[in-house]
Structure 1
């Protein structure tokens, strides 16, 4: 009985992993295919494949917020390949699902959904291309996922607070915080017109607005021209940013902005500032830290591990720092 229970639990874990990876459009190679192969070979049954379909392509979330056509086609083709390799009986619903996507037209945008521990999902409209319209802000990057996981582990940092996010991109971190961490108010910000448009659309997709609780809004914020009065009006007591240190020139304007954020707050009530970065170029990142020190801004590395909630490349060098003066 104990072995049966263990297998049932393992199967449930595998189904959950497939579901989370599918909706986040993770690389197919990262899926736990070995378990599927072993199950198909030992049982000669398509029962597991049927359950995988229910949790992915046939799930109501996929009907409402579908991953890209190409991704669904590749996923279904992989399921068929592995089922046929195990010489299992054909599964009609599998071929029907493939026929549906074979006739669908590919678009430049798709939905990615990130499953929360509560069972809820953050669904975002993202661009399929990593870089489009001259910006990287139309997709979700690893540091945003890491910062969202850190927020889920440290909800008290955001509870009842007014939060400003710099360079919000597609909105994953902010929507996660709004959904799970009970801030009083959350301001998403960026300076690229297309990113701002996408942000507003993603807030609507997730039922967030200035009339909801928390109150959520989108602000155009140009780091190079933002004034202390403008920052004071935003009234943030927590400031966050993810994957914004990727270019030396951008880092210069970011440090200037952070200096203004700290200058326009009283010494007794300085905002909590958290910057999360994927360290792709160590020279650029160390240069950013040096500029912070030159501006009289100190940092502390938040090195504690985070709970694994979202599927992404955990081999990437990601660092979260807290700033203070």
Structure 2
């Protein structure tokens, strides 16, 4: 069974399981999808419609509001104005067809109607512990000449993999390449007990947002783990900088999307392994363009690097599009294999 078929099978299984889920589970799912600004089409509206038809009561919508727009986290780290407006409009449409009007629903909508949209928003992702990783992101997928100001599927997948494989990070010094807004790294810091974590990127605006998100989630400031945010240019990074970091584990997510940077990344990974031979390198990619991704693997081979695809089920912790093919590989020097 191919990777895409596995993802489709997983998605169908998840939909099947939803049919037998309890109201409190559905409320938790709505909360997770709302705060991560997941696609509205992915919400379990069928359960809501059935609930309203069965009970003719607004009680479930009232509870739903408490878990979303009226949740304390929404006051502190709100999703975008447009997303909240559309979400509330969807609730009102269904409430009008199934039960009596709920004043607090219309009050919540009144708070976002007419409010000007900003280029920034917050997305929050709930960890198994119940705590949330909250990130300041750009609303637009591409802004200020970079795609690094939003969270991508491979970052979410790698974070889920890390939650299931904490031993790869526990007690180790970890370097993340192309950290973006920081979802994977912050999850590792909050849940996997590294002794040191180095976030890195090369884009000035991304680094600024990354530092803000690190602070937002209570990392740094002398707390454990030791956390730094470094500028790291793959084409010019000196060996001295790599030796200073001396990582035990290196991770990267959704960094293989541009053929022009594939060679620079391969050269950097070789440099890291020369400076820190025992480093464990994990690269996670959403395969949007098989030709580009295949080209990256050829550049690894040309640099004397091999790779192993890491397979196996990964628990669904965060809501995101699981139909997108994602691959996680471990990179190593061929002579060390």
TM-score (norm 1): 0.95
Equivalent pairs counted in the alignment come to 316
Alignment partner for residue 95 of structure 2, among 61, 68, 83? 83
Equivalent in the alignment of 1:124? 135
Equivalent in the alignment of 2:222? 211
CA RMSD, Structure 1 to Structure 2 (Å)? 1.3
Which secondary structure state, in structure 2, belongs to the residue aligned with residue 241 of structure 1? Answer: strand
Which secondary structure state, in structure 2, belongs to the residue aligned with residue 42 of structure 1? Answer: helix
**2:196 is equivalent to residue 188 of structure 1:** no
Which secondary structure state, in structure 2, belongs to the residue aligned with residue 165 of structure 1? Answer: strand
**2:289 is equivalent to residue 289 of structure 1:** no
Equivalent in the alignment of 1:32? 44
Q: Any gaps of 5 or more consecutive residues in structure 2? A: 1-18
Equivalent in the alignment of 2:316? 308
Q: Distance in 2 between matches of 1:265 and 1:63?
A: 45
Q: Distance in 2 between matches of 1:16 and 1:316?
A: 24
More displaced 10-residue stretch of structure 1: 136-145 or 9-18 = 9-18
TM-aligned CA deviation for residue 69 of structure 1: 0.4
TM-aligned CA deviation for residue 265 of structure 1: 2.0
**2:274 is equivalent to residue 263 of structure 1:** yes
Q: Distance in 2 between matches of 1:301 and 1:92?
A: 53
Alignment partner for residue 60 of structure 2, among 18, 31, 48? 48
Equivalent in the alignment of 1:4? none
Q: Distance in 1 between matches of 2:166 and 2:273?
A: 23
Q: Distance in 1 between matches of 2:324 and 2:55?
A: 38
The one-character-per-residue Cα deviations of 1:87-132 (angstroms, maximum 9, x if unpaired) are x110000000000011422100000000100000000000000000
Which secondary structure state, in structure 1, belongs to the residue aligned with residue 247 of structure 2? Answer: coil
Is the CA contact (8 Å cut-off) linking 1:255 and 1:291 kept in structure 2?
Answer: yes
The one-character-per-residue Cα deviations of 1:47-95 (angstroms, maximum 9, x if unpaired) are 0000000000000011100000000000000000001122x11000000
Q: Distance in 2 between matches of 1:212 and 1:219?
A: 18
Is the CA contact (8 Å cut-off) linking 1:163 and 1:237 kept in structure 2?
Answer: yes
Is the CA contact (8 Å cut-off) linking 2:246 and 2:276 kept in structure 1?
Answer: no
Is the CA contact (8 Å cut-off) linking 1:236 and 1:271 kept in structure 2?
Answer: yes
Structure 1 segments (4+ residues) deviating >2 Å = none
Q: Distance in 1 between matches of 2:179 and 2:84?
A: 27
Equivalent in the alignment of 2:120? 109
Equivalent in the alignment of 1:10? 22
Is the CA contact (8 Å cut-off) linking 1:210 and 1:217 kept in structure 2?
Answer: no
Q: Distance in 1 between matches of 2:281 and 2:276?
A: 12
**2:81 is equivalent to residue 69 of structure 1:** yes
Is the CA contact (8 Å cut-off) linking 2:239 and 2:271 kept in structure 1?
Answer: yes
The one-character-per-residue Cα deviations of 1:169-205 (angstroms, maximum 9, x if unpaired) are 0000000000000000100000000000000000110
The one-character-per-residue Cα deviations of 1:215-260 (angstroms, maximum 9, x if unpaired) are 1110000000001111111121100000000011111110010010
Q: Distance in 2 between matches of 1:244 and 1:69?
A: 29
TM-score (norm 2): 0.92
Equivalent in the alignment of 1:319? 327
Equivalent in the alignment of 2:234? 223
Q: Any gaps of 5 or more consecutive residues in structure 1? A: 1-6
Is the CA contact (8 Å cut-off) linking 2:247 and 2:276 kept in structure 1?
Answer: no
Q: Distance in 2 between matches of 1:9 and 1:247?
A: 41
Q: Distance in 2 between matches of 1:130 and 1:311?
A: 18
Equivalent in the alignment of 1:143? 154
